[in-house]
Amino acid sequence: MAGWPDQGPARGNASSRCIGPGVLRRRPGAAAGVLLTILLALRPAVVTANPGPLPPEVRAALQRARVPESALVAVVQEAGSGQTLLSHQSRQPVNPASLAKLLTTYAALDLLGPAWTWSTPVAFGGPVRDGVLEGDLFVKGSGDPRLVHERLWQALRRVQQAGVREIRGDIVLDRSAFAPAESTPSDFDGEAWRPHNVQADALLLNHHAAVWTFLPDTSRGVARIVADTDGPGGPERTVVLAPGPCDDWRTGLRLQPASAGEGGWRFGGTYPVACGELSWPLADPDPVGYGARLVAALWRELGGRVQGRVRDGRMPAGLKPAFELRSPPLAEVVRDINKFSNNVMAQQLFLTLALQREPAQPASAGAARQTLRRWVAERIGEPGPGELVIDNGSGLSRQARVSAQWLAHLLQHAWSSPVMPELLSSLPVIGLDGTMRRSRASAGRAHLKTGSLRDVAALAGYVLADDGRRLVFVAVIHHPGAGAARPALDALVQWALRGAPAR
């Protein structure tokens, strides 16, 4: 599985299963869920602290990477029965990295339902006469993670279909549904330009990012640079072409935030002509201004006019929407989150859980943590001391902790859940797609979520063994040499695929 990265990429009716104001309301069939939780809690534990040594091939891979066995925590169990096939330091809390998304997405599927959708109301602040809106146009965000470029274009097209060609007021973007962030995009690793550091926003437009494509023009000796969000008539961006191989081509480039009027990035340095056409996804250096620039550019492209400006503000209470833009169903969004380990989409979902529980309050990370802890206590059971520390919804954290045993318990609970098919199908398929597409293991035989940080390499999900058993699989290496020790996780997956014997 060498080279499995853990990084992000990108209608249905609202479900009756929801989090009501003030309390978590149970879904239909909750009595069966309560009974299942009780039975799981009363079932005799079959896990011992460490039923035998690690498989020899796993130990050898760790030795080659110069990573001690104590850096690995792992559990392999039969799905359903809970019979333990491997338990290695299973109660030791470790940083789960993006395995935290398993908790976020499973809780969301259970609380909201796979068909649940986000709604983005669009309202007119005055009458429409002869193609002119006599007032402001309001767009109110509720956390939709999929308000990408083309869907925003569709929303503005619907405004025009309602008869609006000119707006005498402003275009007002309401992002008040989420509380201000607790951190900045550069806090985690100092690299705010990376899309994985984009922060949640109630009106998250195009993930606050663009894909910049480098187009060599050998006749001029430059590479033209265009963004996928560029409209006609934008500024030309170029860098000088240079000879040499196309190795780590990004190191020859320099990034600098463009002027406020221009927006986006300016590029300096050189680009290897041998690279041909390549692309670089980048978070926008001005995430607040990005949405206003994007909306203004799209409105102009559609031929619309606005006398005012595009700005942040609040939609007046009680103003009836002209229409509501509905997101794809939650099951589809969860698939994007887990297949591609998309951090900002996971954070949008994390805060949405808090917003659905307390719709009158701006959703905060603290409220979202409380919502998840309450769901864990009610549906899974109280974790042991230190066994689960929730920081955020994506796993982009140095504080989050979970034990392999608790994570295996979560996956066992999900296996018996009505939303198991949606959760299982959202996980990367080994050797085929998502963050597991480059795996060299038997293609299609496992659905595994990946997790990667500077000092963490992790896999968790379900493996189909040669003997037909479905296995719950959790393995995390927490060590400065975790990246070099990924072959040990490969070896453990192969051991499980061969049909691990009970220990």
* Closest alpha carbon to 283 in 7, 1, 6, 4: 7
Confidence at residue 231, expressed as pLDDT on a 0 to 100 scale: 75
Which own/partner contact pairs does 231-235 have at CB distance under 8 Å and 24+ positions apart? Answer: 231/297, 231/298, 231/300, 231/301, 232/301, 235/262
pTM: 0.88
> Rounded distance, CA 385 to CA 15, Å?
35
- Torsion angles phi and psi, residue 88, rounded to 5: -125, 110
- Same domain, yes or no: 370 and 457: yes
Alpha helical stretches, state H, 267-359:
287-301, 330-340, 343-357
Token pair for residue 342?
């998309």
Confidence at residue 367, expressed as pLDDT on a 0 to 100 scale: 98
Q: Does residue 431 form part of some domain?
A: yes
SS (H, E, C) 309-329: CEEECCCCCCCCCCEEEECCC
Look up the domain containing 123 and give its range. 119-183+287-326
Query: Which amino acid type is present at position 3?
Result: G
- Same domain, yes or no: 231 and 267: yes
Confidence at residue 159, expressed as pLDDT on a 0 to 100 scale: 98
Question: Which neighbouring-strand residues pair with 458?
Answer: 451, 476
- Same domain, yes or no: 145 and 173: yes
- Number of domains into which the chain is organized: 3
Q: Which of 248, 282, 316 is the last residue of a domain?
A: 282
- Same domain, yes or no: 168 and 272: no
Per-residue pLDDT of the chain (503 residues; tens, 9 = 90+): 444 545 443 333 333 333 333 333 333 344 444 444 433 443 333 334 344 579 999 999 999 999 999 999 999 999 999 999 999 999 999 999 999 999 999 999 999 999 999 999 999 999 999 999 999 999 999 999 999 999 999 999 999 999 999 999 999 999 999 999 888 999 999 999 999 999 999 999 999 999 999 999 999 999 999 999 887 767 889 999 999 999 999 999 999 999 877 789 999 999 999 999 999 999 999 988 999 999 999 999 999 999 999 999 999 999 999 999 999 999 999 999 999 999 999 999 999 999 999 999 999 999 999 999 999 999 999 999 999 999 999 999 999 999 999 999 999 999 999 999 999 999 999 999 999 998 877 788 999 999 999 999 999 999 999 999 999 999 999 999 999 999 999 999 999 999 776 55
Confidence at residue 19, expressed as pLDDT on a 0 to 100 scale: 37
Q: Does residue 386 form part of some domain?
A: yes
* Closest alpha carbon to 9 in 332, 342, 328, 280: 342
Instruction: Determine how many CB atoms are found less than 10 A away from the CB of residue 126.
Output: 14
Query: Which amino acid type is present at position 2?
Result: A
> Rounded distance, CA 331 to CA 4, Å?
24
- Residue showing tokens 């239909």: 28
- Same domain, yes or no: 317 and 267: no
Q: Look up the CATH number of the domain holding residue 424.
A: 3.40.710.10
Strands 253-257 and 265-272: antiparallel
Confidence at residue 6, expressed as pLDDT on a 0 to 100 scale: 52
Confidence at residue 32, expressed as pLDDT on a 0 to 100 scale: 42
Confidence at residue 293, expressed as pLDDT on a 0 to 100 scale: 93
- Same domain, yes or no: 296 and 169: yes
> Rounded distance, CA 191 to CA 185, Å?
8
* Residue 361 neighbours by CB under 8 Å, 6+ apart: 367
Q: Does residue 24 form part of some domain?
A: no
Total residue length of the chain:
503
- Same domain, yes or no: 132 and 111: no
Token pair for residue 249?
């081509």
- Same domain, yes or no: 59 and 128: no
Confidence at residue 52, expressed as pLDDT on a 0 to 100 scale: 55
Write the CA distances from 403 to 71, 376, 383, integer angstroms.
13, 14, 10
- Same domain, yes or no: 362 and 220: no
Q: Does residue 193 form part of some domain?
A: no
- Same domain, yes or no: 253 and 345: no
Q: Does residue 6 form part of some domain?
A: no
Token pair for residue 325?
């833009």
Q: Look up the CATH number of the domain holding residue 314.
A: 3.50.80.20
Q: Does residue 205 form part of some domain?
A: no
Write the CA distances from 497 to 82, 195, 456, integer angstroms.
17, 34, 23
- Same domain, yes or no: 339 and 439: yes
Q: Is the C-alpha dihedral spanning 103, 109, 111, 116 positive or negative? A: positive
> Rounded distance, CA 342 to CA 336, Å?
7
Confidence at residue 442, expressed as pLDDT on a 0 to 100 scale: 78
Q: Does residue 13 form part of some domain?
A: no
Q: Does residue 26 form part of some domain?
A: no
- Same domain, yes or no: 274 and 291: no
